[in-house]
Structure 1
Amino acid sequence: MTGLGHERIWQVIGDQRRSLADLLDGLSGEQWRHPSLCAGWTVKDVAAHLTLQQLGPRDLLGTMVRWRGTMDRTIQHEARRRAASWTTGQLTAELRTMAGSRRKTLGLTELEPLTDVLVHSQDIALPLGLRLDMPPDAAAASAARTLAMRWPPPLPTVRVVRGFGLAATDVAWSAGTGPEVTGPISALLLICCGRTAALPQLTGPGVPLLAAALTSPQRRWWRSRGTTVH
């Protein structure tokens, strides 16, 4: 159960899109070109990706025509195409336009765009040393969805995180069994989505084991698909 109603989910999605647009308005050209938390993606690439969250059948058909062998490479290609052809002003304007919309990509629930905007906003803000708050109730709903997901296919990191006992310190939320890992729900959501930048925010006996599992050389390939959070 997510614990959130449809109205609250869409309210948070809209608020986060507007807040991210406000943050992006203040960036310099250098900051737009700065690497995001997603390996190989710039801040502008991730922002462009977030404007591609309302794809209908015709849009999806066009995406499939430009298929790049895997869903992750295709998503990255589409984001970079838009980042190259749109100005920064166009991207922020589109995010604001989307803030009042309840459209979502065909085949997804509203929890996928919620998770996308929550996590990708941090992919942009954290490496720039900026702050963008994440509502704890929404982060808890997204974390629960991420860990329970069967379709779309869950991130590979989910299989690791499920082996730990996660507990939030700022909202009534817990999941999993195993070595204990505690921290703000925003950090736990980022960890569920493979963002190891959140590890310093966590405490508990399970943290060293979790860090080792997520950062071992055998796991590094996960970072290349870090933008697919749904």
Structure 2
Amino acid sequence: MDHEARWYAIEQERLHLADMLESLTPHEWDAPSLCEGWRVRDVAAHVALGANPPLRAAAREAIRTYGRFNKMNQALGIAYGSRPVDQIVAALRKHAASRKLPPITNQRNILADTLIHAQDIALPLSRDHHMPVELARDSADRLWEMIWPMWAKRRYRGVRFTATDTAWSAGRGSDVHGPISALLMVLGGRRATLSHLSGDGLPHLTPRV
């Protein structure tokens, strides 16, 4: 995918997420997401903030959390996630086409972040939220080559991942295969899609996710 295609994909995925969010019940908004300690509303707010980064608030949280990236992100997500849900959805729609980037990231990270967080919301709610194969493949490439914070190559050393619905593979060793969307979630540290994978490498993979 080229630069323009990724930005267009990010915009469309933000809008698709907004569509799903508008259909949620109040109970679902407050339900736990796949991200430990994050409600659905917090994850939704995090994606919306990625489209319109609050740089001053982020700087304050970075100081307060002593530069701990995950703690800063969680604090911002929870703070903004406590807003009325219609405001979160409206912000996501308003800034869907934004090309602003939070510090220390890039558009490929944002695409992967948007795809994965949509599933962080959909999967625990048993919602079917489609992940386009081409976008999942591009994001899987990105997560595999990243060092911090994923360290996928090191974490999953000795495992070879193979997609069953597109031409994608990575790593060397015992085989783990399945849909590219499920592989992307595992590369992103999510255990929820392990049941969609198979292969003789699965026993070696599972404890590392």
Distance (Å, rounded) in 2 between the aligned partners of 1:96 and 1:57:
20
CA displacement at 1:173 relative to structure 2: 0.7
Q: Find runs of 4+ consecutive structure 1 residues off by over 6 angstroms.
A: none
Provide closer, same or farther for how the CA distance between residues 42 and 157 of structure 1 changes in structure 2, counting only shifts above 3 A: farther
The separation in 2 between residues aligned to 1:134 and 1:68, in whole angstroms, is 35
Q: Which moved more, 1:66-75 or 1:134-143?
A: 66-75
Show CA shifts across 1:149-197 (max 9, x none). 13xx132565322431011111111100010011111100000011111
Aligned amino acid, residue 181 of structure 2: S
**Larger relative contact order (Cα-Cα within 8 Å, sequence gap ≥ 6):** 1
- Kindly tell me the number of residue pairs found equivalent between the two proteins: 208
Q: How does 1:135-146 map to 2 (within 5 A)?
A: 135-146=132-143
SS of the residue corresponding to residue 32 of structure 2 reads: coil
Task: Tell me the residue number matched to 2:172.
Answer: 177
Aligned counterpart, 1:154:
149
- Matched ranges for 1:1-230 at <5 A: 4-53=1-50, 54-55=52-53, 58=56, 60-67=58-65, 70-84=68-82, 86-150=83-147, 153-155=148-150, 159-214=154-209
- When residues 28 and 56 of structure 1 are mapped into structure 2, their CA distance, relative to the original with a 3 A threshold, is closer
In structure 1, list runs of 5 or more residues that go unmatched: 215-230
1:71 CA drift (Å): 1.4
Q: Is the 8 A contact 1:48 1:83 kept in 2?
A: yes
Q: Does the CA contact (< 8 Å) of 1:157 and 1:192 recur in 2?
A: yes
Contact kept, 8 Å, 1:158 with 1:193, in 2: the verdict is no
Normalised TM-score (structure 1): 0.84
Matches of 1:177 and 1:59, distance apart in 2? 42
Deviations 1:69-125 (A, max 9, x none): 6211111111111112x2100101111112122221133210011011000000000
One-letter identity of the residue aligned with 1:6: H
1:116-147 superposed Cα distances (whole Å, 9 cap, x missing partner): 10000000000000011111111111111111
Aligned alpha-carbon RMSD (Å): 1.7
Q: Distance in 1 between matches of 2:28 and 2:150?
A: 28
Cα separation, partners in 2 of 1:199 and 1:76, compared to 1, 3 Å: same
Identity of aligned residues (%): 40
Q: Supply the AA of the counterpart residue of 1:51.
A: A
